[in-house]
Amino acid sequence: MTNEFEYQTGIVGAGWLGLPLARALQEQGQSVAVTVSTAEKAERLRGESIAAWPLLLTPDMGSLPFRCHDLVICVPPSKTGDYPASVASLCRQAREVGVQRVLFISATSVWGAGQGEEDTPAPAHDRGLRMRAAELAVLEGHVDCAMILRPAGLYGPDRHPGRFLAGKTLAGGGQAVNLVHLDDVVAACELMLARGQDGDAYNLSAPVHPRREQLYPFASRLLGLVPPQFVEPAGEFAPIEGQRICQQLGFVYRWPDPAHWFADGAALKG
């Protein structure tokens, strides 16, 4: 495939997050290209007027099938084997086709216990370690502008919190709920693409943090599901804050309290 097309923004991974982001950018008048995992998915999106190509993220992946100014990477670690090497390979391919700016969708799992946005990430678990290694691959990828967005737990359409723990018995009821709605992640991506600077890295986590024993049983009951039962130990209340993007870029959360989303009728479709 030759790179005969030019797009303002490319999105690698047009899934639960990447596809709504692509549509939002199109609504702004941007030219957008996306990648998906299969040719069938690409064909379906082309039928919806979205330029799409199949591409698997691997350490030995081929070249990007399009040229773009900005590139958003929305592929989670579970979708590829050697995730950091795959992201590094993608960054090399991006540089070769002239990508100027890369926005990498990471996660708050890069933080160790008690860490915040002023710290250097020191993850304690495998997923966080792989995500941090991928972040570094992006930051060291020699593009003009490399940016990182670290959403907390994602929820929204087809990801209703009431399903997360329904019917389970587990500890940790006193722990903070750290969630962020799809709408807010899309809006934060749009803002960073418009105003972000090289090296920017922001958490995204709704400002209101109920305890797990408060939110999840309530959410499960709304869906008619068996609520989770929490047992000791209650765990530590350790909210992940995501206010720096508000202070520095003027971001405003549409859903500052996850519980408020439940009042919206659309929530029951999740």
pLDDT in tens, 9-49: 999 999 999 999 999 999 999 999 999 999 999 999 999 99
Rounded CA-CA distance 64/250 in Å is 33
Rounded CA-CA distance 33/53 in Å is 8
160 neighbors 270 (Cβ within 8 angstroms) = yes
Q: Which of 138, 141, 130, 245 is nearest to 195 (CA)?
A: 245
DSSP 3-state assignment of 96? helix
70 neighbors 103 (Cβ within 8 angstroms) = yes
DSSP 3-state assignment of 7? strand
Residue 9: strand pairing partners? 32, 70
CB atoms within 10 A of CB 129: 17
Q: What is the pLDDT of residue 1?
A: 39
Strand order in the sheet with 6-12: 51-54, 32-36, 6-12, 67-73, 101-105, 145-151, 201-204
pLDDT in tens, 92-111: 999 999 999 999 999 999 99
CA separation, residue 207 to residues 95, 183, 188, 241 (Å): 36, 15, 14, 7
DSSP 3-state assignment of 19? helix
Q: What are the residue ranges spanned by the domains of the chain?
A: 6-151
DSSP codes joined into one string, 190-224? HHHHHH--TT-EEEE--S---BHHHHHHHHHHHTT
Q: What is the pLDDT of residue 131?
A: 97
CATH for 6-151 (3.40.50.720, 3.20.20.70, 3.30.450.40, 3.90.25.10): 3.40.50.720
Residue 135 pLDDT more than 70?
yes
Distance of CA 84 to the CA centre of its chain: 16
Q: Which of 183, 241, 247, 250 is nearest to 207 (CA)?
A: 241
Provide the pLDDT confidence category of residue 3 given band limits of 50, 70 and 90: very low
Provide the pLDDT confidence category of residue 213 given band limits of 50, 70 and 90: very high
